[in-house]
Amino acid sequence: MYPQNVSDPQSLARRVAMASIAISAVFAVTKIWVGLAAHSVAVVSDGLESAADFFTSGLVLLGLWIASKPADEDHPYGHGRFETLTGLAIGVLLGAAGAGICLRSLDERYLSHTPALFAIWPLIGSIAVKTVLAAAKFRAGRRTGSSALRADASNDLVDILSGTVALTAVGLAIVLPGQMSVADHYGGFAVGLIVVFLGLRVVRETALQLMDTMPDATQMSQIRAAALRVQGARGIEKCFARKTGLRYHVDLHLEVDPDLSVRASHDIASAVRDAIKAELDWVQDVLVHVEPYGVLNPAATIKR
């Protein structure tokens, strides 16, 4: 997916991240407190996962703030990559938090107890609120192009899944205290395992961005189509794009009439750059290199 028209994407993403921080803090404190009072390992584990959400949402906010800084002499492409690094850090932290939750749950699996019935209420509330929050983050992430915000939205989906697992485990331990006395412990372990897999997924996605993975074929076709609609643009020899934070930077080799003057070729290149940026608001900037149309270039072996 790529961002739709947003007048201030950083502001929208920051507002969503700030709301997530507040909600995660409330649920972390509530679930840990209730889990301890109700003697539920699964609820405490889910509370620790919410505490991790609090810190990861804070990282998202920090990343968005730094990414919004304008380009300078040392960072001509802007500071957007910091937002991608934030997404990578979130993945690593989620993996570590999930491993810790798993170990804690297994360490206590031989302690037999039955959780109190009131342990289910913070889990039900968390599932409901996180469903709404995940939808809002995914929508804001698509509109702003924020990989960190989409990573945080994926984390909320895991919250829903982990909350459901914890709720099932606590319910089994309450309803069947004899046969399912350890369900609460293994529910906590399952919550941690889910968080570990999410962390690995986020690390993979953000690593691909840091490796300058190209956009999908549809987006590349849109760049080419926007360029070729400009009068005087005869063809495109090469087209590359890389994401630097919320938007893409494009490198384009534009083919024009070889008999044109340098000034005329420059004017066409400028018009192509402006046309792409105006039509595709997920493109931050375009670097256009002019090539003579119809003249074979032996070095041009890569086309996209």
Tokens of 236: 């495109």
pTM for this entry: 0.58
For residue 146, is it within any domain? Answer: yes
Q: What is the pLDDT of residues 63-89, one digit of tens each?
A: 767 766 777 777 666 666 777 777 788
For the residues 98-116, what does the mean pLDDT come to? 71
Check whether residue 202 and residue 221 sit in a common domain.
Answer: no
Check whether residue 64 and residue 191 sit in a common domain.
Answer: yes
For residue 298, is it within any domain? Answer: no
Are 27 and 43 contacting, i.e. CB atoms less than 8 angstroms apart?
no
Q: What is the pLDDT of residues 38-49, one digit of tens each?
A: 888 778 878 877
For the residues 112-129, what does the mean pLDDT come to? 83
Last residue of one domain, picked from the residues 164, 194, 210: 210
CA-to-CA dists, residue 243 to 16, 66, 72, 250, 276, angstroms:
22, 16, 18, 9, 15
Instruction: Report pLDDT for 105.
Output: 74
For the residues 252-271, what does the mean pLDDT come to? 93
More confident residue, 276 or 304: 276
Q: What is the CB neighbour count within 10 angstroms for residue 111?
A: 12
For residue 245, is it within any domain? Answer: yes
Instruction: Report pLDDT for 94.
Output: 80
Q: Can you give the CATH number for the domain in which 194 is found? A: 1.20.1510.10
Instruction: Report pLDDT for 65.
Output: 72
**Angle at 235 (CA atoms; ends 232, 239), nearest 5 degrees:** 120
CA R_g for the chain: 25
Check whether residue 175 and residue 258 sit in a common domain.
Answer: no
Last residue of one domain, picked from the residues 210, 231, 262: 210
More confident residue, 131 or 183: 131
Count of residues making up the chain = 304
Instruction: Report pLDDT for 300.
Output: 47
Q: What is the four-CA torsion angle of 61, 63, 67, 69, rounded to 10 degrees? A: 70
For residue 4, is it within any domain? Answer: no
Could you give phi then psi for residue 239, rounded to 5 degrees?
A: -150, 120
Residue type, 182: V
For residue 287, is it within any domain? Answer: yes
Helix (H) / strand (E) element for 272: namely helix 262-279
For residue 118, is it within any domain? Answer: yes
The DSSP code sequence of 10-42 is HHHHHHHHHHHHHHHHHHHHHHHHHHHHHT-HH
Instruction: Report pLDDT for 1.
Output: 40
Q: Residue 109 burial (CB < 10 Å; 0-12/13-18/19+)?
A: middle
Check whether residue 30 and residue 143 sit in a common domain.
Answer: yes
Tokens of 298: 């032996």
Q: Average the pLDDT over each of 27-36, 178-187, 219-228, 286-295 and give the range with the smallest value.
A: 178-187
For the residues 229-237, what does the mean pLDDT come to? 92
Check whether residue 94 and residue 221 sit in a common domain.
Answer: no
For the residues 183-202, what does the mean pLDDT come to? 79
Are 133 and 127 contacting, i.e. CB atoms less than 8 angstroms apart?
no
As a whole number of angstroms, the distance between CA 64 and CA 11 comes to 9
For the residues 139-165, what does the mean pLDDT come to? 74
Domain with 272 in it:
217-292
For the residues 183-204, what does the mean pLDDT come to? 80
Per-residue pLDDT band for 148 (boundaries 50, 70, 90) equals low
More confident residue, 180 or 49: 49
Mean pLDDT of the chain: 79
pLDDT-above-70 percentage for the chain: 81
Decide: helix, strand or coil at residue 278.
helix
Check whether residue 222 and residue 189 sit in a common domain.
Answer: no
Q: What is the pLDDT of residues 12-22, one digit of tens each?
A: 667 777 777 88
Check whether residue 35 and residue 138 sit in a common domain.
Answer: yes
Helix (H) / strand (E) element for 288: namely strand 283-292
User: Per-residue pLDDT for 25 more than 70?
Assistant: yes
Q: Can you give the CATH number for the domain in which 230 is found? A: 3.30.70.1350
User: Per-residue pLDDT for 228 more than 90?
Assistant: yes
As a whole number of angstroms, the distance between CA 56 and CA 20 comes to 10
Which of the listed ranges 106-115, 151-160, 224-233 does the model predict with the highest average pLDDT? Answer: 224-233
Q: Bin 109: left if φ > 0, else alpha if -120 < ψ < 50, else beta.
A: alpha
Check whether residue 181 and residue 231 sit in a common domain.
Answer: no
For residue 47, is it within any domain? Answer: yes
Check whether residue 243 and residue 185 sit in a common domain.
Answer: no
Are 28 and 57 contacting, i.e. CB atoms less than 8 angstroms apart?
no
CA-to-CA dists, residue 304 to 55, 99, 221, 254, angstroms:
40, 42, 9, 12
Report how many domains make up the chain. Answer: 2
Last residue of one domain, picked from the residues 210, 243, 271: 210
Q: Residue 96 burial (CB < 10 Å; 0-12/13-18/19+)?
A: middle
Check whether residue 135 and residue 193 sit in a common domain.
Answer: yes
